[in-house]
């Protein structure tokens, strides 16, 4: 993610997002729409709950024999004439891609949507090496032209108006285009069609990889996944190692709930199963296929507290229901993956330090856990992250002292009573009309926008003797 952006503290980034009127409207419309679509899809699908349980079970069972399935996947891909690379870090993965480009004389690469390649900043590395990467997913294409980052896992350009897109296309593609999605889509189709046909290399991610057959699975709506894996002579896929699943039977379980969770569709327009490079006798398809399996912080979580986050299908459902994401959008999070799962993934990929603010960017309402197709208990892991932040002394000293003091207060009824009396004393100058409307220091954060009830003249404990009097 942009280093400049991260220099601005998270609360300020969030504040800026709150003041962006268009973003607010776009977020409300988009997230509400996705929520409604998802709800409709599952309402007409009573098997949904059982399938979600099964999906979670498959992910867990896969983790329990992960070495076996990764080995099996690699064997099968190689048997089909593909090549498998093992990248411990994002940097290694980039190196592998760049080396392939050098060896094969690649000058232009077309990419279908891949969060993994975003994660490792592949485009920047390609550009520096003199290879032109072209994003072909319409949303990704838009933000690439705009030199921005995606703001949502599924709909990357949700923060842009059609007017802004028209302006962008007109400027970058030298033309004058109307602010009409149909027109703009046609422009992108024409422009990118040329790129697909001319590109030397197609780069994809993978939604799944079936170990038993050596199959890569791409779930798309636009058709760019198919183009990218059929037209250029070289295909490279970058895949988080946790995306491997055992069998085709397992695959259809995930397919039955993935698109429904993401967009409310029964299936996306295209689900593409790719088994290696083109077969002999096949007219079209790449000559060479390379699969790069990416660790980059994932392997460490197999035995770690964020293990469940490895189940993630990258559907975006948790973003759509998160009260925080719905207010601030994806950019404010400051990292590749936003929203509830994004906080966990950021911690996984960049360490606890990177989430010392983000771990608290949640009211722990649990809506994310409710909609997750693989039932990841995100709130629980956020609390554990907060524990790490507190214990690893990532949290500010003042905060840790405050909570330790609060802990002592709560462990002692005498201190608690004292606290109540102190509160009553200190609040007197600030009480107006029976409410606290403006408090100093830290408490001002509440009273800036909300009233606070004062500590009662007599607490419930202090009143109890009277209440206890007339017994039944």
Partner 1 sequence: MGPGVKASIMITCLGDLFFPEVGEAMVTVLRRLGVTVDFPAGQTCCGLPLFNSGYHDEAARVAERTVRLFGEAEHVVVPSGSCAWMVKTEYPGLLKHDRILKAAADSLAARTRELSQFIVEVLGVTRVESDFAGKVTYHDSCHLLRGLGESRSPRTLLRNIPGVDLVELPGSDECCGFGGSFSVRLPEVSTAILDKKLGNVEATGAGCLVACDAGCLMQMGGGLSRRASRVRPLHLAQLLAGGRR
Partner 2 sequence: MTTRAEFLGRVRAEMRKVGAPGPPAAPERPAHLGEAAAAVRREMSERWPEALVRFVQEFERVAGVFHRVATPAEVPGVIRAIARERGAREILTWAPAELGMDLGPPLGPELAVLPAPPGGGELDRLRHREEAARAGIGVTGADLALAETGTLVLLSGAGRPRSTSLLPETHVAVFGPGALVESLEQVGAILEALHVDPARSMSGAVINFITGPSRTADIELTLTRGVHGPKFVHAVFVDGLGGAPR
The separation between CA 138 and the C-alpha centre of its own chain, rounded to angstroms, equals 19
Q: Phi then psi for 203, rounded to 5 degrees?
A: -115, 130
459 binds, among partner 1, partner 2, none (CB under 5 to 8 A by kind): partner 1
Contact stretch for partner 2 (CB under 8 A) within 201-209, 297-305, 331-339, 410-418: 297-305
Does 409 interact with partner 1 (rule: CB under 8 A)?
yes
67 binds partner 2 (CB under 8 A): yes
Q: Which does 158 bind (CB under 5 to 8 A by kind): partner 2, partner 1, none?
A: partner 2
CB under 8 Å to 247, separation ≥6 — which residues? 210, 211, 212, 213
Which residues are within 8 A (CB) of 382 and not within 5 positions of it... i.e. 6 or more apart? 340, 343, 344, 359, 362, 364
Restricting to residues 9-68, which ones interact with partner 1 according to CB under 8 A? 11, 14-15, 18
d(CA 118, CA 42): 30
E runs forming strands in 79-220? 83-87, 108-111, 132-135, 201-204, 208-210, 215-220
Residues 386-425 that bind partner 2 (CB under 8 A): none
Of residues 305 through 344, those in contact with partner 2 by CB under 8 A are 307
Confirm or reject binding of residue 231 to partner 2 (CB under 8 A).
yes
* Residue 142 binds: one of partner 2, partner 1, none (C-beta under 5 to 8 A by kind): partner 2
Can residue 134 be called a binding residue for partner 2 (CB under 8 A)? no
* Integer Cα distance of 343 and 355 in angstroms: 7
Q: Is 102 in the site for partner 2 (CB under 8 A)?
A: no
Distance CA 292, CA 93 (A): 7
Q: How many CA atoms lie within 13 A of 347 on its CB side?
A: 30
Q: Which residues pair with 86 in a beta bridge?
A: 293
278 is in the binding site of which of partner 1, partner 2, none (Cβ under 5 to 8 A by kind)?
Answer: partner 2
Distance of CA 32 to the CA centre of its chain: 18
Least distance from C-beta 472 to partner 1, angstroms?
A: 6
410 is a contact residue toward partner 1 (CB under 8 A): yes
Q: By CB under 8 A, tell whether 74 contacts partner 2.
A: yes
Long-range contacts of 418-427 (CB under 8 A, 24+ apart): 420/455, 420/459, 423/455, 424/454, 424/455, 424/457, 427/454, 427/455
**Joined tokens for residue 262:** 């993401």
Instruction: Provide DSSP, 391-439.
Output: HTT-S-HHHHHHHHHHHHHHH-HHHHHHHHHHHHHHHGGGEETTEE---
Q: Does 105 bind partner 2 (CB under 8 A)?
A: no
| Window 323-342: contact mask with partner 1 (x via CB under 8 A) | xx--xx--------------
Phi first, then psi: give them for residue 403, nearest 5 degrees.
-70, -35
Rule CB under 8 A: is residue 456 a binding residue for partner 1?
yes
- From partner 2, partner 1, none, interface partner of 130 (C-beta below 5 to 8 A by class): none
CB atoms closer than 10 angstroms to residue 61: 14
Q: Does 304 bind partner 1 (CB under 8 A)?
A: no
230 near partner 2, judged by CB under 8 A: yes
Among 6, 50, 88, 405, binds partner 2 (CB under 8 A): 88
198 binds partner 2 (CB under 8 A): no
User: Quick one: how far is CA 103 from the chain centroid?
Assistant: 33
**Of 134, 153, 157, 343, the one binding partner 2 by CB under 8 A:** 157
When binding is defined by CB under 8 A, the residue of 44, 163, 396, 413 that contacts partner 1 is: 413
Closest CA to 26 of 130, 138, 165, 145: 165
If the CB atoms of residues 188 and 318 are measured against partner 2, the closer one turns out to be 188
Q: Does residue 396 bind partner 1 (CB under 8 A)?
A: no
Determine if 352 is a binding residue for partner 2 (CB under 8 A).
no
Binding-site residue total for partner 2 (CB under 8 A)? 104
Q: Is 303 in the site for partner 2 (CB under 8 A)?
A: yes
256 binding partner 2? (CB under 8 A):
yes
Stretch that binds partner 1, among 92-100, 273-281, 300-308, 363-371 (CB under 8 A): 363-371
Question: What is the CB-side half-sphere exposure of residue 49 using CA atoms within 13 A?
Answer: 3
Residue 453 binding partner per list partner 1, partner 2, none, with a CB distance cut-off of 5 to 8 Å that depends on partner kind: partner 1
**Side-chain-side CA neighbours of residue 77 (13 Å):** 28
Our CB check for partner 2 shows the closer of 247 and 431 to be: 247
Reading the block at residue 411, the tokens are: 């462990």
CB of 453 to partner 1, least distance (A): 5
Enumerate binding residues for partner 1 (CB under 8 A).
11, 14-15, 18, 323-324, 327-328, 359-367, 369-370, 383-391, 395, 403-404, 406-407, 409-413, 416, 420, 423, 435, 437, 442-443, 445-446, 448-456, 458-464, 467-468, 471-472
């Amino acid at each position: 993610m942009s280093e400049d952006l991260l220099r601005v503290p998270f609360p300020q980034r969030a504040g800026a997002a709150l003041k962006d009127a268009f973003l607010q409207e776009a977020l409300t419309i988009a997230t509400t729409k996705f929520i409604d679509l998802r709800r409709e899809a599952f309402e007409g699908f009573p098997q949904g709950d059982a399938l979600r349980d099964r999906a979670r079970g498959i992910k867990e069972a896969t983790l329990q024999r992960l070495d076996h399935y990764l080995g099996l996947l690699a064997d099968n891909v190689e048997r089909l004439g593909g090549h498998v690379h093992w990248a411990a870090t994002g940097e290694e993965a980039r190196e592998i891609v760049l080396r392939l480009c050098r060896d094969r004389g690649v000058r232009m690469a077309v990419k279908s949507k891949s969060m993994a390649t975003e994660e490792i900043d592949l485009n920047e590395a390609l550009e520096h090496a003199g290879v032109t990467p072209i994003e072909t997913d319409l949303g990704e294409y838009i933000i690439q032209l705009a030199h921005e980052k995606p703001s949502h896992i599924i709909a990357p350009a949700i923060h842009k108006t059609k007017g802004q897109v028209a302006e962008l296309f007109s400027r970058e593609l030298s033309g004058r285009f109307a602010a009409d999605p149909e027109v703009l889509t046609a422009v992108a189709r024409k422009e990118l069609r040329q790129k697909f046909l001319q590109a030397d290399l197609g780069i994809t991610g993978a939604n799944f990889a079936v170990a038993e057959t050596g199959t890569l699975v791409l779930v798309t709506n636009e058709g760019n996944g198919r183009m990218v894996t059929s037209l250029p002579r070289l295909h490279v896929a970058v895949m988080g190692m946790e995306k491997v699943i055992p069998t085709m039977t397992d695959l259809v379980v995930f397919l039955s709930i993935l698109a429904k969770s993401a967009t409310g569709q029964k299936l996306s327009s295209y689900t593409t199963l790719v088994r290696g490079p083109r077969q002999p006798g096949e007219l079209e398809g790449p000559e060479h296929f390379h699969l790069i399996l990416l660790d980059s912080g994932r392997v460490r979580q197999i035995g770690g507290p964020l293990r469940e986050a490895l189940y993630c299908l990258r559907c975006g459902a948790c973003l759509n229901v998160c009260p925080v994401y719905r207010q601030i959008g994806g950019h404010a999070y400051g990292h590749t993956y936003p929203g509830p799962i994004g906080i966990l993934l950021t911690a996984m990929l960049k360490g606890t330090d990177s989430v010392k603010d983000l771990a608290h960017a949640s009211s722990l309402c649990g809506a994310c856990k409710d909609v997750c197709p693989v039932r990841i208990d995100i709130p629980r892991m956020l609390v554990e992250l907060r524990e790490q932040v507190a214990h690893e002394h990532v949290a500010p000293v003042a905060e840790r002292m405050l909570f330790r003091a609060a802990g002592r207060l709560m462990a002692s009824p005498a201190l608690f009573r004292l606290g109540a009396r102190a509160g009553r004393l200190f609040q007197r100058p600030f009480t107006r009309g029976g409410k606290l409307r403006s408090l100093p220091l830290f408490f001002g954060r509440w009273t800036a926008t909300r009233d606070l009830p004062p500590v009662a003249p007599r607490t419930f404990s202090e009143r109890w003797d009277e209440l206890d009097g007339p017994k039944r």
